[in-house]
Structure 1
Amino acid sequence: MKESEVKFIIVDLFCGAGGTTTGFDMANDAKGNKIAKVIACVNHDAFAIKSHWQNHPDVVHFEEDILVLDLTKLIKVVQEAKKRYPNAKLVLWASLECTNFSNAKGGQPRDADSRTLAWGLIRYLQAIAFDYVMIENVSEFQDWGPLDANNKPIKELKGIDFQKWCSVVDSMGFYNQWTKLNSADFGASTSRKRLFGCFARFGMPIVFPEPTHAKKSPNLKPWNAVKHCLDFEDEGKSIFQREKPLVDSSLERILAGLKKHIIAGDSSFILKYNSMNKAGKHKPPSIHEPCHTIACQGRLGLVQASFIAQYYSGKPEGKVKCSSEPIGAITTVDHHSLCNVFMFKYHGNEKGAMSIEQPCSTITTKDRLAKVQVQHWLDKSYSGPENHQSVEAPAGTIMTVDKHQLASAFLINPSHGGHSHNIEKPCPVIIARQDKAPLYLITAVYGEFAIPIYDDDSEVMISIKQLMAQYGIVDIKTRMLKVQELKIIQGFPADYVLHGNQSKQKKFIGNSVVPIVVKVWIEAIHQELIQTQKAKKAA
């Protein structure tokens, strides 16, 4: 990176494993030159700092609580950077702790000390002359106000402390603006919506990035799907072969996802691609009827139906999303599961070759992409490395008892009662506590098999089995989303290194800022600074 090209030097507070730093590192000018460089970062977690250092070794790392860091060390780092990049704007980034502001906290008491972390920034602003202060937090941060005797927010006084804090920062020579940005609107595979605020010195512009993607818009690109981030070859384990059976609440989410995304989700597509019965006669089903399969090659009919389920509170049918959308914010606790459905059907007309394309779905602090084509493959249910075969290649020999099956998927997010998400959509928020409510991959298999119902089956299990019998589903498999999948969903490079056990790594992902948002924001400010400078020269 040429020194003349660096327009921003950044101190990254609450840096975590590096989402913000990664975003700044991705930022370029119109010519493709890097414009931002993080010079120092602060975090109290040893594994987070180790992960950050592994990926950003040129950054000065402080393994400290931001409230007690010796600022003389940081001042020295800033002074050296200013000498090297004399024309660069100095930025303080702070992803303030959000747990005790977020609505995800529910009715639980708030930690008063945690809610005062924002005041810890004041001493940094007193010691160092920053040009910009950039803030990321949950939307409820704007409601920051006093707590009652039970540590519950006082509704009548909400926002009082936030306004007071902003006024103090402004009194130090800044003005501020705030907005809410959804990462999916900028091409991310997660629909994480957060509050972003900026304090700037007078005379310096504040601007926020314009969306490039939208859920529905004739003028913008569609939201990117989460499906290309998922490993469909890892099918997970059958829900009927678990040592510890799933509880009914988990089964209800799976049932809701099956109904929403597999049985009823693609009815409008049925009329277009699948209007022929086994006798070779056209019989278009109603758009309110399910489609068993979509014909693909002669007698081998395949269909992919994928969705994501979230484990949040509320009705299960409201917790499922298509995999062609971004999933919600990734949290620090696993709250999403991916549901794969395997389908196999015969069609009697040799001319029935048709496309297998079809519609298919927030990563938060508790572990809960460009549009790409969904991956399809045949599962022949045989042993050996050639068991899984691309649908782009000829199918293997059709046996008298055929075992070809198509993998398809949806995600389940266990947070707050459970949502399911189609993998054609962005990922739900990834939360940090993936050990408590992990994202799951759900799969199902279609074929001609008996579905036994036992005396001790619960009502919801019986409903699932009845649906399976009706639609030819012979198995349903589930697994938690893996670190590699969550990492890519959040927007980290595939080779990004994280340290610590699986729970810690998922927590780091859920706690991280989505890098693409940081990238587009600093690029927008850079462009606005250029225009401001041009206007001054013209005047």
Structure 2
Amino acid sequence: IASHHSNHPNSFHFTEDIRTLNLDPLKKLINEKMSNNDILCLWASLECTNFSRAKGGKPRDADSRTLANDLLRYILTIDPDYIMIENVEEFMSWGPLDENGKPKSKYEGVDYINWVNKIKNMGYSFDWRILNSADYGAYTSRKRYFAIFAKNGYNIQFPMPTHSKKPQKGMFGNLHQWKPVKEVLDFTDSGESIFKRKKPLSENTLKRIYAGLQKYISWDNSFILKYNSKKKKSDDKEFNNTVSEINTPLSTITTQRTPQLVQAAFLSKYYGTGNNVFGIEDVCSTLTTKDRIALVQCDRKKHFIQRYYSKDNGQSILSPAGTIMTNDKHALVSAYLLNPQWGKGSNQSINKPCFTLIARMDKAPPYLVNPKYGLCKFKIENQDSETMKLIKIFMKENYIYDIKMRMLKISELLDIQGFGSNYKLLGTKADQKKFIGNSVVPIVAQKLIESIYIGIIKGEKVKVA
């Protein structure tokens, strides 16, 4: 709450238990601030920990799962025109628990339906959607449940997507491509070698790294790309022929910028099952409250890629290449993210949106993994695990002389979620990561409010069902 107040000092904040807060001061405040023509909207991001699949097989807290019922007295007290709800998708499965704190599958959704009906019986119409933040220009593919209740004849309207994973040409082909998370990552900080750590990496972490290397760091799949990183803004102009295979002649080298030789950079996440490796050209998946994403990055020596001789080494893919120096000042950027969230975890390309960031990123932080290219300098030792041996063999075959990995920075997590790196957060790093993972992606909240506003100014009203 203190962090929110530092960014929004003109907002009123109540540091109270929502279940016991005296609502009279809130009602008085609303009456003082509102005029007759104002539209009152109540936003509720209901506690989601004991609904989320991130909870895994652990017992649920029945008291936490019933906090949505405490919203009812707020509705009765302030009588809002709109009620907007945000939660995890599993909120719709809200039902009773057994004696072990596990959901009764037979009664999944019973409590949710009853809760919706209670609010509808207060005179509200109702609709809901599952929205992916990447569809609205965010750098994360966080999917969440959003519901809207409306009364007094006001229309319910959800925002249209502005971006798409695979934009289609034609009548409805005006959507933008999902934003790649690489645009907000700092590749100048490659991290620490995975071979020189005080505490050796676990076998599971090594397996995730190896999976990412196999999928994204293959010499045969290298290509030359005029690379776009965090340090420079890109233009919105269309462009063609910006990518070339390494087996074809290089395009003209100008005196302004240098081409980037990219071999796939990717993200690795430590939660979920199935395909947990993603490209940096995609949005990041959901940010959680734990540190569960790692960026894996490869640099092959003696290729014209990332510039290390000036501060603004990141550049727009629309810019000409930089001056080619006589000494070794360029490196091949091949990074990916490693996410140690629930389950076996996963890797993800930095050419995609980031996966979901969750609240407990302090326990399982997301990492940037950064292989360095050249002759492998690490020999296979007798004490090496089977996965470590496979990694070293892969390094030798693909000319990787080191692999570096680091946690994503607070500033990067803020950019991924959509707050901007200058957003003020108080507390420890663990606290700050929890705040980010628990937050609503700002652009989605903005688009929802804008959509409702557009309906209001058009005078669109419907009869309440």
Same fold (TM over 0.5): yes
Quick one: distance in 2 between partners of 1:222 and 1:414?
27
Residues 426 and 505 (structure 1), Cα distance of their counterparts in 2 relative to 1, 3 Å cut: same
Q: In structure 2, what residue type is equivalent to 1:323?
A: I
Q: In structure 2, what residue type is equivalent to 1:119?
A: N
2:181 — aligned with what?
226
* Cα offset, 1:484, TM superposition: 0.6
Q: In structure 2, what residue type is equivalent to 1:342?
A: D
2:23 — aligned with what?
71
Output the TM-score relative to the length of structure 1.
0.75
Quick one: distance in 1 between partners of 2:334 and 2:308?
11
Specify which of 276, 280, 283 is matched with residue 319 of structure 1: 276
Aligned residues: 432
Task: Note the residue ranges of structure 2 that are not aligned, 5 or more in a row.
Answer: 226-242, 316-320
1:471 — aligned with what?
398
2:423 — aligned with what?
496
Residues 533 and 486 (structure 1), Cα distance of their counterparts in 2 relative to 1, 3 Å cut: same
1:273 maps onto 2:273 in alignment: no
On the 8 A contact 2:218/2:263 being kept in 1, the answer is no
1:50 maps onto 2:2 in alignment: yes
* Cα offset, 1:105, TM superposition: 1.5
* Cα offset, 1:530, TM superposition: 2.6
* Cα offset, 1:450, TM superposition: 3.9
1:236 — aligned with what?
191
Specify which of 288, 291, 309 is matched with residue 334 of structure 1: 291
Output the TM-score relative to the length of structure 2.
0.87
* Cα offset, 1:397, TM superposition: 2.8
1:522 maps onto 2:449 in alignment: yes
1:344 maps onto 2:301 in alignment: yes
Quick one: distance in 2 between partners of 1:307 and 1:511?
24
* Cα offset, 1:302, TM superposition: 3.3
Specify which of 35, 38, 46 is matched with residue 96 of structure 1: 46
Specify which of 332, 335, 342 is matched with residue 409 of structure 1: 335
Residues 305 and 297 (structure 1), Cα distance of their counterparts in 2 relative to 1, 3 Å cut: farther
On the 8 A contact 2:181/2:280 being kept in 1, the answer is yes
Q: In structure 2, what residue type is equivalent to 1:478?
A: M
Secondary structure class of the residue paired with 1:224: coil
1:106 maps onto 2:78 in alignment: no
Residues 461 and 379 (structure 1), Cα distance of their counterparts in 2 relative to 1, 3 Å cut: farther
On the 8 A contact 2:125/2:151 being kept in 1, the answer is yes
On the 8 A contact 1:274/1:295 being kept in 2, the answer is no
On the 8 A contact 2:378/2:401 being kept in 1, the answer is yes
Specify which of 79, 83, 86 is matched with residue 129 of structure 1: 79
Secondary structure class of the residue paired with 1:255: helix
* Cα offset, 1:263, TM superposition: 1.4
* Cα offset, 1:80, TM superposition: 1.3
Residues 390 and 378 (structure 1), Cα distance of their counterparts in 2 relative to 1, 3 Å cut: same
CA-to-aligned-CA distance 1:428-468 (integer Å, 9 cap, x gap): 10011111111101101111344311111111111111111
Quick one: distance in 2 between partners of 1:236 and 1:181?
34
On the 8 A contact 2:260/2:333 being kept in 1, the answer is no
* Cα offset, 1:296, TM superposition: 8.7
Quick one: distance in 2 between partners of 1:471 and 1:60?
57
Quick one: distance in 2 between partners of 1:190 and 1:301?
24
Residues 159 and 412 (structure 1), Cα distance of their counterparts in 2 relative to 1, 3 Å cut: same
Q: In structure 2, what residue type is equivalent to 1:473?
A: I
Quick one: distance in 2 between partners of 1:397 and 1:300?
15
Quick one: distance in 2 between partners of 1:68 and 1:265?
62
On the 8 A contact 1:296/1:302 being kept in 2, the answer is no
Quick one: distance in 1 between partners of 2:206 and 2:461?
61
Give aligned-pair identity as a percent. Answer: 47
CA-to-aligned-CA distance 1:370-394 (integer Å, 9 cap, x gap): xxxxxx52358xxxxx699568432
Task: Note the residue ranges of structure 1 that are not aligned, 5 or more in a row.
Answer: 1-48, 277-281, 283-293, 347-355, 357-375, 381-385
Q: In structure 2, what residue type is equivalent to 1:90?
A: L
Specify which of 444, 454, 457 is matched with residue 384 of structure 2: 457
Residues 412 and 58 (structure 1), Cα distance of their counterparts in 2 relative to 1, 3 Å cut: same
* Cα offset, 1:395, TM superposition: 3.5
CA-to-aligned-CA distance 1:368-422 (integer Å, 9 cap, x gap): xxxxxxxx52358xxxxx6995684324332xxx574233321110112121111
1:351 — aligned with what?
none
2:229 — aligned with what?
none
On the 8 A contact 1:295/1:301 being kept in 2, the answer is no
1:147 — aligned with what?
97
Quick one: distance in 2 between partners of 1:405 and 1:261?
17
Secondary structure class of the residue paired with 2:60: coil
Secondary structure class of the residue paired with 2:353: coil
1:308 — aligned with what?
267
* Cα offset, 1:54, TM superposition: 0.6
Quick one: distance in 1 between partners of 2:162 and 2:260?
37
Quick one: distance in 2 between partners of 1:497 and 1:226?
21
Residues 240 and 268 (structure 1), Cα distance of their counterparts in 2 relative to 1, 3 Å cut: closer
CA-to-aligned-CA distance 1:91-135 (integer Å, 9 cap, x gap): 110000111111221221110000000010111111112101100
Q: In structure 2, what residue type is equivalent to 1:320?
A: V
2:322 — aligned with what?
393
1:418 maps onto 2:345 in alignment: yes
2:306 — aligned with what?
377
Secondary structure class of the residue paired with 2:148: strand
Secondary structure class of the residue paired with 1:377: strand
Residues 196 and 447 (structure 1), Cα distance of their counterparts in 2 relative to 1, 3 Å cut: same
Specify which of 82, 85, 92 is matched with residue 34 of structure 2: 82
Quick one: distance in 1 between partners of 2:367 and 2:38?
44
On the 8 A contact 1:310/1:319 being kept in 2, the answer is yes
Residues 192 and 264 (structure 1), Cα distance of their counterparts in 2 relative to 1, 3 Å cut: farther
* Cα offset, 1:239, TM superposition: 0.4
Quick one: distance in 1 between partners of 2:220 and 2:417?
26
Residues 459 and 478 (structure 1), Cα distance of their counterparts in 2 relative to 1, 3 Å cut: same
